[in-house]
Amino acid sequence: MLELREGACFPRVLVGVNVVLALVDAIIAVLAFYQLIRIHSRNSQVVWTRQKVFHLMIGSSSMGYFIYFVLALIAACKGWPCWSNSCGFIVMAFPKILFFAAFLLLLSFWVDLCHQANDEDDEYEESSSQEALLDKTSNKPSSSKTDGHRKRFPLHFFNVGSRQKIVILVTVLVFVVMMACALIIWIGMGKNHIDSAVVARVYVDFFAIAILLLGGALACYGLLLCLKISKVRSEQASSEMWKVHRYPQPLYYGS
């Protein structure tokens, strides 16, 4: 869908597929943003948690896909020359990066749950499902000068956990690669030996490999979490049975 013929629209089947995909992405975006607003209304004291950031990324990614499918139909019928090159590539790649970053953030949360015992020295990592992705600095009594700066500059500085820094670094790296590929594709529009289609194919293959690796990591840590949860439940059940055998209930007989 990267290369569109100028002055020609999609066949009816492809138009129907694009419309259905656009509607599905729009529904997912609405549900994700609704869930984000509902979570924020329940826990407005903590500005950003992993759960909030995850829903924000999913909603933004789905909205980006919705825009892409709509613009793809318009560009095919209007014959936009830029769409079949760098413009369409950027609009297609940006929501994919957000989608990748969202599930990379989810993976970091699962890694924290699996390695919680080994990360006690990290003061920014928390174990609850509402774990803050960006923790506020501690609320300590400050001078009037500091309060004045806070009033004039409402933005707060946050402490980011070690694994969240890795998520941000990987996302920025993928974004830089995407922009570099878009620039090469744009240069390939001129009279040179650069094949824009090959560059786009290489990026798509690279991103597909990254998604496969992320999916495998999610599957492995999801399995580890399921095993740990089942182990905890079995230990709780055995402890309850031990209490029953250790302290049996007295038997009462009727008269």
Residues 98/57, Cβ–Cβ less than 8 Å: yes
Query: 92 or 76: which carries more pLDDT confidence?
Result: 92
103-158 confidence digits (pLDDT tens) = 998 888 888 877 764 444 444 444 444 444 444 444 444 444 445 444 444 444 34
Annotate 137-161 with b (16+ C-beta within 10 A) or e (fewer).
Answer: eeeeeeeeeeeeeeeeeeeeeeeeb
- pLDDT tier at 60 (50, 70, 90 boundaries)? very high
Give residue 126's pLDDT: 46
Which is nearest to 174 in space by CA: 199, 214, 203? 203
Q: Mean pLDDT check: name the lowest of 88-102, 121-135, 149-163, 229-243.
A: 121-135
Say whether 208 sits in a helix, a strand or coil.
Answer: helix
| pLDDT above 80 (res 233) | no
For residues 68 and 96, give the distance between their C-alpha atoms in angstroms, rounded to a whole number.
11
**Domains of the chain in sequence order:** 12-134+158-240 (1.20.1070)
Give residue 29's pLDDT: 94
Structure token digits, residue 71:
């613009």
Structure token digits, residue 119:
């990360």
- pTM metric for this prediction: 0.69
Give residue 4's pLDDT: 40
Which is nearest to 164 in space by CA: 57, 33, 92? 57
| pLDDT above 70 (res 254) | no
- pLDDT tier at 87 (50, 70, 90 boundaries)? confident
Query: 255 or 207: which carries more pLDDT confidence?
Result: 207
Give residue 242's pLDDT: 57
For residues 226 and 223, give the distance between their C-alpha atoms in angstroms, rounded to a whole number.
5
Q: How many C-beta atoms lie closer than 10 Å to residue 127's C-beta?
A: 10
179-213 confidence digits (pLDDT tens) = 998 888 888 777 777 787 888 888 989 899 999 99
